[in-house]
Amino acid sequence: MKRTFYLIFILFAIASFGFAQTIEDADFVSPVHEDFIAVKKGNQWAFINNEGNIAINFRDDLFATATENGSYPLFKNGRCLFTHKKDGITYYGYIDSEGKPVIEPQYLNATNFKNELAIVLLLKRTEITQNVALKKPVVSYDYYEVVIDLNGNVLTYLNTEPTHVTLSSDYLRKPPVITSKFISKTLVAVMNKQKKWSVVVIDKN
- Tens-level pLDDT at each residue, the chain (205 residues): 444 333 333 333 333 344 456 678 899 999 999 999 999 999 999 999 999 999 999 999 999 999 999 999 999 999 999 999 999 999 999 999 999 999 999 999 999 999 999 999 999 998 876 655 556 777 899 999 999 999 999 999 999 889 999 999 999 999 999 999 999 999 999 998 889 999 999 988 7
How far is the C-alpha of 89 from the C-alpha of 95, rounded, in Å?
A: 19
Q: Please measure the distance between the N-terminal and C-terminal CA atoms of the chain and give it in whole angstroms.
A: 66
Residue of 163, 202, 201, 166 whose CA lies nearest to 179: 163
Q: Where are the domains of the chain?
A: 109-205
| pTM attached to this predicted model | 0.85
